Structure 1
Amino acid sequence: MSDEPEAPEALVSLRQSIDNIDAALVYMLAERFKCTRLIGELKAASGLPAADPSREAVQISRLRRLAGAANLDAVFAEKFLKFIIEEVIRHHNEVAADSHNRAGQ
C-alpha cells in the first residue's frame, strides 16, 4: 500500500486529458514528419538546400500569431517550432546525403 494519498478525481481526469493530448501530439508530429520527409526527398532530387530561412521566418511569425490567438506563450511556441525545424533540416540533410550516395553508386 502506498503512503501517498489518493489523487482527487479531478486530478485523475485532468491527467487523463493530458495523456490523450500527448498521444495526439505524437501522432500529429509523426504525420508532420512524413510530409517533411517527402519535402526533403523533393529538395534532394531538385538540388535545393535543406534549409529555407525565408520560409522558416514566415512559419515562426505565423506560429507566434497563432500562439497569441490561442493564449499560448509565443516564446515557448517559437522555441518549439525552432526545435522541429532543426530536426526537419537534419532529416533533409540525411535524405540529401542518402540520395547523393545512391547516385554515386
Structure 2
Amino acid sequence: MSTSDPHLAPDSAMHDLRARIDALDAQLIALLAERSTLIDEAARIKAREGLPARIDSRVEEVAANARRLAGPAGLDPDLAEALWRLMMEHFIAQEDRVLSAGPHD
C-alpha cells in the first residue's frame, strides 16, 4: 500500500486513532489468549469430574452476563451476546478436544 493513499492518511487524527485501535486489539488478543488458557484448565477439571464440555446452564449464564455488562459499558448488548456465543462455541469445541483426548493426569 502506498503512503499516498488518502484512506491511510498517516499524518492525521485517523492515523492516531488507528494506532489506538491496534493497541486495543493487541490487549483483546492477550485477554482472549488468557481466557483460552483458563478454558484448558476448565476442561481438565471437567475431565476429572466427568462433566461434559457443554453445560447449557453455564452457556446461558455467560451470555446473560455479557448482555448485562455490555449496556453500562457502552456496548450494544446484542453485539456482546452474539460475540460471546460465538466465542463460547469455539471454547466448547476446544474443551471437547481436550475431553476426547482422554485423561492426562
Secondary structure of the 2:5 match is coil
Aligned mates of 2:99, 2:3 — CA distance in 1: 53
One-letter amino acid of the counterpart of residue 95, structure 2 = H
Structure showing the higher helix proportion among its residues: 1
Equivalent residue, structure 2, for 1:4: 5
Aligned: 1:47 with 2:50: yes
Q: Structure 2 matches for 1:17-32, cutoff 5 A?
A: 17-32=20-35
Aligned mates of 1:4, 1:87 — CA distance in 2: 37
Secondary structure of the 1:72 match is coil
Equivalent residue, structure 2, for 1:97: 100
Taking structure 1 as the reference length, the TM-score comes to 0.87
Secondary structure of the 1:4 match is coil
Equivalent of 1:35, from 34, 38, 42? 38
One-letter amino acid of the counterpart of residue 34, structure 1 = T
Taking structure 2 as the reference length, the TM-score comes to 0.87
Structure 1 unpaired stretches of 5+: none
Aligned mates of 2:65, 2:3 — CA distance in 1: 47
How many residues are paired up? 102
Measured on the aligned residues, the alpha-carbon RMSD in Å equals 1.9
Moved over 3 A (4+): none
Aligned: 1:75 with 2:81: no
Structure 2 unpaired stretches of 5+: none
